[in-house]
Copies of this chain bind each other. A is one copy, B any other.
């Protein structure tokens, strides 16, 4: 055997992936990691604007974001659209396809991205052998539900200003968990996408960015947003207003 094949390239394995503490591999030992590694199709590239899957596509595999940013949107019978999530590195996409065997959501890359695909029937087979992997998979499913509930809270109870503040904090916190610089955020999605996600119109989103900027909580520079005062932004979300 000559040069290491693509599959066995160490740099492409879960064991050396910087996301292993966030993604499926969390808590696995070397042997378990190896088994998981063998069924992951790694580093499929998805360019900005391309769909990874569409509603109605047969559900064959989960996809974990390796790098980049996606948006997941659903279209109702009446043609209404809702962006349900903006998955980033380490997050799973396609979980809602398990129940019916077909994707419900649409996944589109917001920037050039890479994903790891995990054939679902084979994953389920492996879960039976690896209790720790099974538990971690359940934890990830449960986290997905928890973060969906979080968005419901935002959509159902918050004003426009709080929605935008909560959105920025959510992104910042998720970046922080990945050891990324968390106070300067490059937003790969448009104001319209943010508005759709939050149940607002794009003009309202823009106004709220301006308001947060005028209040000194953030600095905006095109699609780059800096959180100047994390604590105040947090306080705004918790108390509903500044200096309560």
Residues on A lying within 8 angstroms of B by beta carbon are 74, 76-78, 80-82, 84, 95-100, 104-105, 124-125, 127-129, 131, 134-135, 138-146, 148-149, 151-153, 155-158, 196-199, 237-240
Contact = CB atoms under 8 A, between A and B. Distances in A.
Given A143-B99, A156-B82, A240-B78, A149 B104 contact: yes
Contacts of A127: 127-128, 134
Given A128-B127, A148-B145, A199 B82 contact: no
Nearest to A195: B156
Consensus secondary structure, chain A interface = helix
B196 A156 contact: yes
Given A82-B157, A199-B157, A96 B145 contact: yes
Contact of A74 (B98, B153, B199): B153
Say how many copies of this protein the assembly contains. 2
Given A84-B149, A146-B104, A152-B152, A238 B97 contact: no
Given A74-B149, A104-B149, A149-B74, A96 B156 contact: no
B146 A149 contact: no
Contact of A135 (B96, B124, B146): B124
Given A78-B240, A84-B149, A128-B128, 12 more contacts: A76-B238, A80-B158, A82-B156, A82-B157, A95-B142, A99-B146, A100-B146, A124-B135, A127-B128, A156-B197, A156-B199, A199-B199
A188 B5 CA distance: 61
A89 B140 CA distance: 26
A128 B240 CA distance: 46
Contacts of A84: 149, 152
Given A76-B157, A78-B237, A124 B134 contact: yes
A142 B156 CA distance: 22
Contacts of A237: 77-78
11 contacts: A76-B157, A76-B238, A82-B156, A95-B142, A96-B149, A99-B143, A100-B146, A105-B149, A127-B134, A141-B142, A152-B152
